[in-house]
Amino acid sequence: MRSRSALQIQWECRVIDADPFRVAILIVSFRNPEDVQACLAALAQLTEEPRFDVFICENGGPGAFRDLCERLVAPQGACRPISGELAEDALITPSGRLSEVKRLALKRRDARVWLGCASENLGYAGGLNIWIDRLLSSAGWAGIWVLNPDSEPHPRALQALTDRAVAGRKGMVGSTIVSSADHNYVYCRAGHRWRKLRTSLAFIGLGEEAGASVDLSSIEGDLDCIAGGSMYVTRACLEKIGRMDERFFLYYEDADWSMRAKRYGLGYAPDSIVPHKGGTTIGSARLRAERSRLSVYLESRNNLHFVRMHWHRYFPLGLFFGCAYAITYLFAMSSKNFRAAAEGLLAGIRGETGRPKFHG
């Protein structure tokens, strides 16, 4: 029995290795293994096509990486270990900003799960880029799906994205994002439009009934930015627009990426339903007083950075509204977040980018 079991495991490993994926699903985690576990369980229920592999970057350090690995292969976990020798290729070999790489497989389907431990907190853009860099040297895949770890996509979510990319000739496509607490109402349809005179992003479809009919051409015409919680990018588009800009660290990196992709087509897949908790890693709670210092600081700083990059004539307006936004924290009785917003504005004025000196 032991010999047969070992042969069976080796055969499973060869089958997985020989079956190429069409889509790479990219997830950045930060000490939230429960969310990742739930997300992978949902991904295991996706339609059979397109085939996919999952690539996760854990930004929370070696301890968080070990915890994530252990939870995923636990009896109630979504994954199983892959035994046997692993090929020394560009995906599996630790190097540069990935200190360790492990490969697992989903229990309920033939899909691999690649876990990478970042050598330091690389931010959202950096966590995606370490996998994008490796994937660009690999052949066979058609696109990437950037997905937040605290989301649980419906079974047709990925298929609807890829179908819309092909049918509409779109380089980047977004989903119908709904709240995990109530799937009946829309958080956003694909993403945002940019309000020049307010120098801010506005959700498209916020509060609408999820099942309501939509004017697809109107929504796609309004789209300026695909929401980072679920964004499908074709390989052809990715090779033209390049990696995410790590100067943002967190916040507005998806908006900047979308602005670069807009000339290659931004699309919306209404049937791609993605429930999303929101704010579980960075502390971007809905109530102002409960938001983390880091989220408040980066939102203020990066808004100015984004305006300077794409709408530089509106920078004075961005500064005005940034100050007004900071003051709202005083009305919310949160002096600490007022200070965080003010510090972010000063950093934005000075042109500071990248990882802040504090991490929380």
Joined together, the tokens standing for residue 3 give 């010999």
Whether the pLDDT of residue 178 is over 60: the answer is yes
Helix (H, G, I), strand (E, B) or coil at 338: helix
pLDDT bin (cut points 50, 70, 90) of residue 187 is: very high
pLDDT bin (cut points 50, 70, 90) of residue 95 is: confident
The pLDDT score that the predictor gives to residue 279 is 53
What domains appear along the chain, each with residue ranges and CATH number?
2-276 (3.90.550.60), 288-350 (no CATH)
pLDDT bin (cut points 50, 70, 90) of residue 266 is: very high
Average pLDDT of span 181-187: 91
Q: Which CB contacts under 8 angstroms, 24+ apart, belong to 31-36?
A: 31/60, 31/64, 31/67, 31/281, 32/149, 32/150, 32/280, 32/281, 33/64, 33/67, 33/68, 33/71, 33/72, 34/71, 35/149, 35/150, 35/277, 35/280, 35/281, 36/68, 36/72, 36/149
Average pLDDT of span 112-137: 95
Length of the chain: 360
Q: Lowest-pLDDT range, 59-63, 96-100, 229-233, 247-251? A: 96-100
Whether the pLDDT of residue 322 is over 50: the answer is yes
- Amino acid sitting at position 339: R
pLDDT bin (cut points 50, 70, 90) of residue 3 is: very low
Query: Residue for token digits 């530089």?
Result: 312
The pLDDT score that the predictor gives to residue 96 is 80
CA angle 156, 160, 161 (to 5 degrees): 120
Average pLDDT of span 156-165: 98
pTM of the predicted protein model: 0.90
- Per-residue DSSP letter, 268: E
